[in-house]
Amino acid sequence: MTKHLLAVLFAGAGLGAFAQAPVKKLEAIKVTTAPKIDGSLDDEIWKNAPIATDFIENNPIAGRHEKPEERTEVKIVYDNDAIYVGARMYETSAARVARELTTRDQIANDDFIGIIVDTYLDGLNGSGFYSTAAGVQYDAKYSNGGDEDDTWNAVWESKVRVNDHGWTAEFKIPYSALRFGKKDVQTWGLNFVRRRQADNNQLFWNELDPKKNGLMNQEGHLTGLKNIDPPLRLAFYPYFSTYVNHYPYNTPGVKNTTNSVNGGMDVKYGINQSFTLDVTLIPDFGQVQSDNKVLNLTPFEVKYTENRPFFTEGTELFNKGNLFYSRRIGAQPVNYGAAGENLKAGETLISNPTETKLLNATKLSGRLSNGLGIGVFNAVTNTANAVIEDASGNKRLVQTAPVTNYNILVLDQTLKNNSDIALINTNVTRFGQDYDANVSGVVFNLKNKANSYNISGYGMMSNLLYADKPTVTGFNYEIGGGKTLGNFTWNIYQNRVDNKFDPNDLGILFNNNYLNHTLNLQLSDYKPGKIFNSWSIYSTILYSRRSAPATYQNLNIFIGSFLSYKNKWSSNINFNHNLEGNDFYEPRVAGRGFRTPQETNLSANYNSPKSLRLNGGIFYRYRIYNKMGGRGADAEATYTLRVSNNFSFGQDVIWSPRYNNLGFSTKDTVNGNPIFARRNVQTLEHIFNIKYTFNNVMGLSFRLRHYWSKLNVLQYYDLAQNGELADLTTSNFNKNNDQNYNVWNIDMIYQWQFSPGSEISVAWKSSSQNNTTLASYGYFNNFNNTLNQPKNNNLSIKILYYIDYQNLKKKRR
């Protein structure tokens, strides 16, 4: 829900110190009879409970108090098992309550009410529980003062009702969904947040000032919690799944249709009141959304989004220092490319797995009462073997990956003034002849008492450990700080990565060997004017040098703006200019550099509010980037049409043409020198979505993505030693480097949450991918050919069942 909640929170920060608003407090009342969770608020226990009201707007007009006829009233009671939230959101009529149906954890054109609790009162970490006016649940974890992890899922109850005076909601949040210390009397950090689509505004109980940096450090207090004990948190999530896969190989001895049956389990165990152990045994991630694959013309790998739930949920501690890229686990075998290097006469490589099999993974995380967070992550992948066959049909295996253990250890200590410091270690151990990898580091963020200035940074050391040669050790550091409070903010940073630092066995770093200096400036105004509700202007200047040998790389100047209009629309206007520089990565040959021409970009986008039945946005960026007539553009148009509260559809179309683009193409086959090309590249990406939601626990989604990129080489060049392009002096290279790349994906998923924490899902996936040198067709001929390509079709059914130990105990009693 980052784009729904947190995107509006940090639009700006700091000019000078000003008076701190008093912290609001709400007393929770202990009850002996729990309210019935039906959304009606007619239980006797709600009548005398203290009320949290007078919410204050954060967006679009910061600091404005809610109107009496649109007021919010929230109450909290608790017993020995859970805390209960009763909320009433007033409106002048039921028609002003937005309640589009979605599946769990999705927010569309919806009003919502949410509670955020900081059970350790550290101003850094918290848990959020939300319900839309359509009764759809959403929950999230918060860390580092406001980073939102919306993949976290808890098991809790909620109900809503809509009437002529607005809508009401009731929550039951069991203590098993929270972590808290064992104290006789407790005070928790607390805030409530309400979203109103009718006026496109967002309000908080304890004021969230956009001129201050952070979410959790601007919380109120929940008092009156007495004699509550953290329960034994133990839950099991066994699953069963079955798959049918069809691909038209139409080859003798090869089946077109295959099937499989899988089973496994996730376990969540609260070791004590502070720490939770998460284990996944024989996991199945076959129903996650397909990757958005692209034609990669850069010298760097593509970073894909992690869609596997175990690796996204509750990983905030492990993401400290950006040393954890979870897609490394279960990725391409370490020796994948070497499988066919030593083929004997008559041998053929008939199979070479592109992924390693994940056997199990474990997470242990929590935070002590003294603010020390501890995280331990471990995962094990199985061996991978390529299959080689000789002319007589005899087969042999070639190991491309050994059994591999991935491990992360994090110690994160919170300090005064919402500061923190963390120690991190990542380790990859391969049980075989392959190298091991280890990275250690320290990360810190220190703030003054007013949270108006900070100093932050990190220091890292990587080691690649070989059995037959010396260990390779590299270093990386960043240090900087700035002003984080008020209308005007700034920060300045220096980042150096030496030429041996390599965290890529469990992390991701596109390139090393650089020294960067960055200056960021931002000026914001949150007072409404005649045209704008608020506006921000920001600028970044980046100066980069190669670290060793020291050489200038580039100077980049960026100026941008964000404008929030009185009509509830918003826009960005941005300007970016890169001066001439040196690119030491594009040539793909060590020691060589490419003299990059200057590049200028001008972009703008305009977005409508989601409250409109037809909403969307447009984006356009124009590029001028070399002396040979180089130019390009990036254009994007999106829309969503809400036909009803149950049904909506939308499109996202992105067009990115490049004319006279310069870049690496191939290598001289004799001396290995890089050959560059001037080329035209046309890229068109089309995503079409359909959503039909039956009720707040059952829905159907359809996503179609077609990606097409066509590259036509216009002229080849030698790369001279001075980095300039020169006329060709060789013919020793492959001259057919045109490309026509297509990706087709359909992801259609039916989900039914038949009881809290339990789900049945049915998924259909259809995919094809091809890359040819036939690049003469236009888009529509190419699209027709793509439709006629053989496609892999996969149908799966998965049943996940939630078993709570506490519920089992009660049933036995």
Write out the DSSP string of 559-581.
EEEEEEETTS-EEEEEEEEEPSE
Which residues are CB-contacts of 86 (< 8 A; sequence separation ≥ 6)?
A: 35, 41, 46, 49, 74, 75, 76, 77, 168, 169, 170
Q: How many CA atoms lie within 13 A of 777 on its CB side?
A: 17
Handedness of CA 627, 629, 630, 634 (dihedral sign): positive
The predicted structure's pLDDT at residue 214:
86
C-alpha–C-alpha distance, residues 377 and 315, integer Å: 9
The predicted structure's pLDDT at residue 187:
96
C-alpha–C-alpha distance, residues 645 and 136, integer Å: 12
SS3 308: coil
Q: In terms of DSSP H, where are the helices of 313-444?
A: none
The predicted structure's pLDDT at residue 17:
36
C-alpha–C-alpha distance, residues 87 and 114, integer Å: 9
Whether the Cβ atoms of residue 429 and residue 438 lie closer than 8 Å to each other: no
Q: Which two tokens stand for residue 293?
A: 């694959």
Which residue from 48, 7, 1, 57 is spatially nearest to 28, judged by alpha carbons?
48
DSSP state of 211: T
Q: How many CA atoms lie within 13 A of 166 on its CB side?
A: 23
The predicted structure's pLDDT at residue 330:
93
Whether the Cβ atoms of residue 426 and residue 439 lie closer than 8 Å to each other: yes
Angstrom CA distances, 307 to 39, 310, 450, 714, stand at 33, 9, 38, 39
As a whole number of Å, the end-to-end CA separation of the chain is: 40
Which residues are CB-contacts of 54 (< 8 A; sequence separation ≥ 6)?
A: 65, 66, 71, 205
The predicted structure's pLDDT at residue 88:
97
The predicted structure's pLDDT at residue 21:
67
Question: In the chain, which stretches have pLDDT less than 50?
Answer: 1-19
The predicted structure's pLDDT at residue 5:
47
Which phi and psi (to 5°) does residue 553 adopt? -110, -60
C-alpha–C-alpha distance, residues 804 and 620, integer Å: 51
